[in-house]
Amino acid sequence: MVREKEIHGMPGWLMVFVLSAALIGSIVMLIRSIAHTDSLGVIGWLAAPSLLDLVNAAPAVKAEALPFLRTVLLGIIGMRIAHG
Protein backbone atom coordinates (compact mmCIF):
# COMPACT_ATOMS: atom_id res chain seq x y z
CA MET A 1 0.00 0.00 0.00
CA VAL A 2 1.32 3.41 -0.94
CA ARG A 3 1.29 5.97 1.84
CA GLU A 4 0.52 9.54 0.81
CA LYS A 5 2.95 12.21 1.93
CA GLU A 6 1.57 14.68 4.48
CA ILE A 7 2.53 18.34 4.89
CA HIS A 8 1.71 19.81 8.30
CA GLY A 9 -0.81 17.04 8.90
CA MET A 10 -2.67 17.64 5.64
CA PRO A 11 -2.58 15.34 2.62
CA GLY A 12 -0.31 16.60 -0.14
CA TRP A 13 -3.12 17.04 -2.69
CA LEU A 14 -5.12 19.15 -0.23
CA MET A 15 -2.13 21.38 0.51
CA VAL A 16 -1.58 21.93 -3.24
CA PHE A 17 -5.27 22.77 -3.66
CA VAL A 18 -5.28 25.27 -0.77
CA LEU A 19 -2.10 26.99 -1.93
CA SER A 20 -3.34 27.15 -5.54
CA ALA A 21 -6.65 28.68 -4.44
CA ALA A 22 -4.83 31.28 -2.32
CA LEU A 23 -2.53 32.17 -5.21
CA ILE A 24 -5.37 32.51 -7.71
CA GLY A 25 -7.38 34.62 -5.24
CA SER A 26 -4.42 36.91 -4.65
CA ILE A 27 -3.84 37.41 -8.35
CA VAL A 28 -7.51 38.25 -8.94
CA MET A 29 -7.49 40.75 -6.06
CA LEU A 30 -4.29 42.35 -7.38
CA ILE A 31 -5.77 42.78 -10.87
CA ARG A 32 -8.98 44.26 -9.49
CA SER A 33 -7.08 46.68 -7.26
CA ILE A 34 -4.91 47.92 -10.10
CA ALA A 35 -7.91 48.35 -12.39
CA HIS A 36 -9.83 50.42 -9.83
CA THR A 37 -7.03 52.72 -8.68
CA ASP A 38 -4.83 53.08 -11.74
CA SER A 39 -6.98 55.85 -13.18
CA LEU A 40 -7.08 57.68 -9.85
CA GLY A 41 -3.28 57.71 -9.63
CA VAL A 42 -2.91 58.97 -13.20
CA ILE A 43 -5.54 61.67 -12.68
CA GLY A 44 -3.76 62.75 -9.50
CA TRP A 45 -0.41 62.86 -11.30
CA LEU A 46 -1.83 65.09 -14.03
CA ALA A 47 -3.87 67.29 -11.66
CA ALA A 48 -1.08 67.93 -9.14
CA PRO A 49 0.09 71.26 -10.66
CA SER A 50 -3.50 72.50 -10.86
CA LEU A 51 -4.10 71.53 -7.24
CA LEU A 52 -1.10 73.59 -6.18
CA ASP A 53 -2.37 76.53 -8.24
CA LEU A 54 -5.75 76.13 -6.56
CA VAL A 55 -4.22 76.76 -3.12
CA ASN A 56 -2.06 79.64 -4.44
CA ALA A 57 1.22 77.97 -3.53
CA ALA A 58 4.35 80.10 -3.93
CA PRO A 59 6.78 79.08 -6.71
CA ALA A 60 9.35 77.83 -4.17
CA VAL A 61 6.66 75.72 -2.49
CA LYS A 62 5.49 74.35 -5.85
CA ALA A 63 9.02 73.23 -6.69
CA GLU A 64 9.20 71.18 -3.49
CA ALA A 65 5.57 70.10 -3.25
CA LEU A 66 4.99 68.88 -6.80
CA PRO A 67 7.24 65.77 -6.63
CA PHE A 68 5.90 64.96 -3.16
CA LEU A 69 2.26 65.35 -4.19
CA ARG A 70 2.75 63.24 -7.30
CA THR A 71 4.44 60.51 -5.26
CA VAL A 72 1.63 60.46 -2.72
CA LEU A 73 -1.07 60.36 -5.39
CA LEU A 74 0.64 57.52 -7.26
CA GLY A 75 1.15 55.76 -3.93
CA ILE A 76 -2.60 55.27 -3.75
CA ILE A 77 -2.14 52.35 -6.14
CA GLY A 78 0.31 50.60 -3.82
CA MET A 79 -1.83 51.21 -0.75
CA ARG A 80 -4.87 49.83 -2.53
CA ILE A 81 -2.96 46.71 -3.52
CA ALA A 82 -1.55 46.18 -0.04
CA HIS A 83 -4.76 46.82 1.88
CA GLY A 84 -7.33 45.53 -0.59
List per-residue pLDDT tens for the chain, 84 residues long: 556 666 667 677 777 777 788 888 888 777 776 666 566 777 778 888 888 888 888 899 889 988 888 888 777 766 666 665
User: How many domains, in total, are found in the chain?
Assistant: 1
pLDDT, position 84: 56
The answer to whether position 19 is within a domain reads yes
The answer to whether position 29 is within a domain reads yes
The answer to whether position 75 is within a domain reads yes
CA nearest neighbour of 81 among 22, 20, 37, 18: 37
pLDDT, position 37: 57
Give the three-class secondary structure for 10.
Answer: strand
For residues 10 and 35, is the Cβ–Cβ distance under 8 A? no
Question: Which secondary structure element, helix H or strand E, spans residue 6, and what is its range?
Answer: strand 6-7
The answer to whether position 33 is within a domain reads yes
Structural domain boundaries enclosing 46: 6-83
C-alpha–C-alpha distance, residues 61 and 18, integer Å: 52
The answer to whether position 1 is within a domain reads no
Q: Using CA atoms of 21, 24, 29, 34 in order, give the dihedral in degrees to the nearest 10.
A: 170
